[in-house]
Chains A and B, each alone.
Chain A
Amino acid sequence: MSVRETTTLRWIRASLAVFLKDWRSELRTRYAMSALVMFVVTTISIILFSLGGEGASPEVLAGMLWVVIFFAAMSGLSRTFVMEEERGTGMTLQLLTPPGAVFAGKLLFNLVLGAGLTLLTVVLYAFFINGFIVRTLSIFLLTIALGSVGLAAASTIIAAIIARANTKGTLYPVLSFPILLPLLMTVINATRLASDGAPLGEAAGEFQILISYIVVVITVSTLLFEYIWKD
């Protein structure tokens, strides 16, 4: 086996180790999962009570779905980096593994957590909120999939930036909002198209924006992470 192959294998192994460590740690502590589930359940309950059985327009319902997902993500997806800093294990990770492997592992963890969060929100939202109808399932599923990847990708790098700040809790949504705004506007628009029953081709522009957003965020994050991670 060549040196390059060995190094590539070590990168993969180290990235998976970061992911599995976070996952096992999460299963034992329920640190992020509890916050996410409680946030989604509470927010959907409040929306349910405030609507009081009356319907709302597809635009409003599509927007509210992503408001729930955005703020739930803000309450949970930063934990992966914040926990390392709060427990002082960030330096242990720095000592043991290269920054690229840390970022890849943390991104993978947030992708899985973000997908679970989005799925839970969509299922509860569709079940409880009157008037939320999806007429073009293909647009909706693609929007949910791409939106959750974009949200996880942007949340991961922002979490790395704010993890060492004193005002993490406040800074995270404040810093995330402008970065996530193009993503949120696009997914809200695509969700509205899915509710209106638009053909798949009509949402092509939205999907192009979402894919471009994901590629740009992951590329920039990979390039910048080492400078963010190391003092």
Chain B
Amino acid sequence: MALRLVTHGLRKAFNRRIVFENIDTSVSEGETLLIAGRNGSGKSTLVKILCDVLSPSQGSVDITGAGPLNAFTRKALFGLVSPYLQLYDEFSAMENLQLAAALRGLHGDARIHEELLARVALDPKRADPVHGFSSGMKQRLKYALALAHHPRILILDEPMSNLDADGMTIVRGIMTEQRTRGILVVATNDLSDIDVHERKVDLNVRA
């Protein structure tokens, strides 16, 4: 059974301000879901709800085709890259990757971590503390963190944020690869970030 991410009547309100409501969508393995909307339309809020780090005011997010899920296996399905996801600045890039694996209850594989850092062109800086990184380097490290456990659902919020041309090329490669092995969710207000998508939630229409 193919992996499927389904939302049923999602609604989110902060006090009396309704951010969005009646979000019904689904995306299956091999597909891309685009979440479009201008600043403040609720893209990041929807992303947080999909990743299960924020509770919806109403509605639910269901995952089918992933087998029985517990607290760890559910979290392991997701990889997230977003501007508001912060790294541990006092640790190095390598230590951040090892820490993320340990927090997932796994033994980190140093060889895989080195390969990931090489892929995002951070291998020369692997032992440097992250507080010395530029915003673009931090964004690259977030990609390495998101991919380290081979997530079946990769969620990218503003995927090209802070990246240079080389970084954008790396990210396009990651997006293409993810489409072949799982679900890709992209939240952006710049439609040039994404080439193809099968599903779309337009929060401008709903706002």
Residues on A close to B: CB < 8 A? 7, 9-11, 13-14, 16-18, 20-21, 24-25, 28-29, 87-89, 91-98, 100-101, 230-231
Pick out which of these stretches binds chain A: B17-25, B99-107, B178-186, B193-201: B99-107
Chain B residues within an 8 Å CB radius of A89: 86-88
> Which of B48, B55, B75, B89 interacts with A96 by CB under 8 Å?
B75
B88 and A21 contact, CB distance less than 8 A: yes
B102 and A95 contact, CB distance less than 8 A: no
- List which B64-89 residues lie within 8 A (CB) of chain A: 70-72, 75, 78, 80, 84-89
How far is A9 from B104 in the complex, measured between Cα atoms in Å? 11
How far is A9 from B51 in the complex, measured between Cα atoms in Å? 24
Determine if B118 is an interface residue (Cβ-Cβ < 8 Å). no
Return the chain B residue nearest A7 by Cβ. B70
> Which of A9, A88, A95 interacts with B105 by CB under 8 Å?
A9
Return the chain B residue nearest A12 by Cβ. B105
Determine if B54 is an interface residue (Cβ-Cβ < 8 Å). yes
Q: How many whole Å from B113's CB to the nearest CB in chain A?
A: 15
Determine if B90 is an interface residue (Cβ-Cβ < 8 Å). yes
How far is A96 from B75 in the complex, measured between Cα atoms in Å? 6
Other 19 A-B pairs with CB < 8 A, given A10-B106, A88-B84, A231-B55: A7-B72, A10-B105, A13-B102, A13-B105, A13-B107, A14-B105, A21-B103, A87-B86, A91-B86, A94-B53, A95-B53, A95-B78, A95-B80, A95-B85, A97-B75, A97-B104, A97-B105, A230-B54, A231-B53
Chain B residues within an 8 Å CB radius of A96: 75, 100, 103-104
What 8 A-B pairs come out closest when comparing CB atoms? A10-B105, A17-B102, A98-B71, A88-B86, A96-B103, A97-B103, A14-B105, A94-B53
- List which B95-146 residues lie within 8 A (CB) of chain A: 99-100, 102-107
- B25-59 vs A, CB cutoff 8 Å, 1 = contact: the mask equals 00000000000000000000000100101110000
Chain A residues within an 8 Å CB radius of B51: 95
How far is A9 from B107 in the complex, measured between Cα atoms in Å? 11
> Which of B53, B55, B71, B104 interacts with A100 by CB under 8 Å?
B71
Q: How many whole Å from B107's CB to the nearest CB in chain A?
A: 8
Which residue of B51, B55, B71 has the most chain A CB atoms within 10 A of its CB atom?
B71
Return the chain A residue nearest B88 by Cβ. A89
Q: How many whole Å from B155's CB to the nearest CB in chain A?
A: 10
Chain B residues within an 8 Å CB radius of A16: 102
Chain A residues within an 8 Å CB radius of B54: 230-231
Q: List 25 A-B contacts (CB under 8 A).
A: A7-B72, A9-B105, A10-B104, A10-B105, A13-B106, A14-B102, A14-B103, A17-B102, A21-B88, A21-B103, A24-B91, A25-B90, A89-B88, A91-B84, A94-B53, A95-B53, A95-B85, A96-B103, A97-B103, A97-B105, A98-B71, A100-B71, A230-B53, A230-B55, A231-B53
